[in-house]
Amino acid sequence: MKVVVRTLVFIYQWLVFVPVLIVLTLITALTVMIFSPIFGNKFWGYYPPKWWSKLVCWFALCRIKSFGHENLNPKQSYVFVANHQGAFDIFLVYGFLNQNIKWVQKQSLRRIPFVGKASEIAGHVFVDNSSPKARARTILEVKKQIVDGVSVMMFPEGSRTKTGKLGRFHKGAFQIAIDLKLPIVPLTINGSYDVLSVKSSLIRPGKLELIIHQPISTQNLTEEDIPSLMEQTEEIIAAGLWPKYK
């Protein structure tokens, strides 16, 4: 029975999901590239990709559950940080967080046709770790994007987990939050590792879960508080993980 299911999923992925993904991605990227320069990227850099993400999750036959939206103020800017289980983390957060966000993402994504340019026009920030000066410029670029209730989204692990377990956090997101006196919002992602892990090229339709935790104030914190802030955030995210990911 399992072999039959895997075969059907394989056929569906390559005959339905992948063609739909390519078409939706192209339409979304072109929409952002055309309309953002004319009307601004606060709307056109967010809503088309949001619906792109929702559709991708639905066409991947994933069941979505999200909790904790009542913890957020739509007019408040935040620094969102989440564990990074797999490629579907992006679709889950972008589609179902319901908060206007700018991503801090790897330089390698800039080379993806259409997507890289659309991301740049939408106001997303590409991390440059080539030197301390380059990293400082990245942080300044992030600060420019966080205005009028727009938030920033980062994966403090830096890359997708290879085991499903939580990896070591880097301090970049926490430095930005303290510099700008913005609340940190921990997000726990469950299920993405099973749907499409870094080691797999075959989607496995399943349940995706997003937990939005209570914001953590940084108003009275300094750079010396970063290690304890990181530890607190990591503990909150880890507490929401399904047992098999702990």
Q: pLDDT tens digits for 20-53?
A: 999 999 999 999 999 999 999 999 999 999 999 9
Q: Give the chain's domains with CATH numbers.
A: 2-245 (3.40.1130)
131: pLDDT strictly greater than 70: no
Mean pLDDT score of the chain? 92
User: What's the average model confidence in pLDDT over 169-193?
Assistant: 93
pTM of the model: 0.92
User: What's the average model confidence in pLDDT over 206-216?
Assistant: 98
Q: pLDDT tens digits for 65-75?
A: 999 999 999 88
Q: Residue 113 has what pLDDT?
A: 87
State the SS3 of the chain.
CHHHHHHHHHHHHHHHHHHHHHHHHHHHHHHHHHHHHHHCHHHHCCHHHHHHHHHHHHHCCCEEEEECHHHCCCCCCCEEEECCCCCHHHHHHHHHCCCCEEEEECHHHHHCCCHHHHHHHHCCEECCCCCHHHHHHHHHHHHHHCCCCCEEEECCCCCCCCCCCCCCCCCHHHHHHHHHCCCEEEEEEECHHHHCCCCCCCCCCCEEEEEECCCECCCCCCHHHHHHHHHHHHHHHHHCCCHHHC
